[in-house]
Amino acid sequence: MDLKTKEFEEFRTLVYETSGINLGEGKESLVSSRIGKRMRVLGMDDFRSYLDCLKHASGGDEMVHMLDAISTNVTSFFREPEHFDFVRDTVTEWMRKGQKRFRFWSAASSSGEEPYTLAMTLAECGLTADTDTRILATDISTRILASAREGVYSQSKLAGMPAGFAGKYFSPVRGASPAGSAVQDRLKAMIVFKRLNLAFPPFPMKGPLDIIMVRNVMIYFDNNVRRNLLADCYRLLKPGGYLLVGHAESLTGLVKEFKCIRPSIYQKPAP
């Protein structure tokens, strides 16, 4: 199947308007490969027919499948570990001051490694689902959210964890091939997984949230989508709460209200 330039531009526009993801020029082969897999599932061999399907009034469900196919999901446990050290130290200080309720948002949770790492970090502080601690984990991909809810990972995925964590927070899955381990229920009880499109704030959550993690996702957005996303993060955070972004990302020139605490860590100032 050959993806014509006009068809590629139509896919670019469709993806941007429905997800905020900005597919750059020169991505024809990537789009052709990923969308082609979905088309084969449907028995289609023509990009024009697939575009017509997506644009039809009944194509809403297929639009979700298309965005699933196009989304990039690269993550790992304890990715950018300094962030989790910061969460541990900050939450420990809040607990010392008597805080009892904790709310966190993993905004681009992908296959679950980030929210489960956050849950392990909080568990090490002594927090559990029984201590009024909740993590909201969202992603645009229904496929990847289903995998995250299942919470089963290969042994290679667990290799980079701190010593003892795999045995403490995961249980072997009997009969699995290849060998895998499942997140224990005590961590799962802290997390709610929901589909959410970050391109369309305001978001339905009420807040206030203590910490929001929007890491390594804004690189796929243009500045307009970034500004709107960040403005709603600011709304949802409590005064004194923190926003964590990817190490390669910056808020410079986007939202002036946040105070930069250190690279990739920002605070909503307390009044």
Q: Which of the 8 DSSP states describes residue 164?
A: T
139 is annotated as an active-site residue: yes
Extract the tokens encoding 25. Answer: 């020029």
- With tokens 């229920």, the residue in question is 185
In the set 12, 79, 139, 226, the catalytic residue is: 139
Q: Which helix (H) or strand (E) holds 108?
A: none
Q: Which of the 8 DSSP states describes residue 208?
A: -
Closest CA to 182 of 226, 205, 151, 219: 151
Closest CA to 106 of 80, 67, 69: 80
- For 110-129, letters b (16+ CB in 10 Å) and e give bbbbbbbbbbbbbbbbebeb
Asked if residues 71 and 110 have their Cβ atoms less than 8 Å apart, the reply is no
Q: Rounded CA gap, 105 and 123, in Å?
A: 16
* Domains of the chain from N-terminus onward: 5-70 (1.10.155.10), 82-267 (3.40.50.150)
Written as tens digits, the pLDDT of the chain (271 aa) is: 789 999 999 999 999 999 999 988 888 998 999 999 999 999 998 999 999 999 885 556 888 889 888 887 779 999 999 999 999 999 999 999 999 999 999 999 999 999 999 999 999 999 999 999 999 999 999 889 999 999 999 989 998 899 999 999 999 998 766 779 999 999 999 999 999 999 999 999 999 999 999 999 998 899 999 999 999 999 999 999 999 999 989 888 898 899 999 999 999 999 8
In the set 34, 88, 143, 235, the catalytic residue is: 34
34 is annotated as an active-site residue: yes
Q: Distances in Å between the alpha carbon of 112 and those of 13, 18, 24, 165, 232?
A: 29, 23, 27, 16, 23
Q: Which helix (H) or strand (E) holds 151?
A: none
Exposed / middle / buried, residue 17 (Cβ in 10 Å: 0-12, 13-18, 19+): exposed
**pTM higher than 0.75 for the full model?**
yes
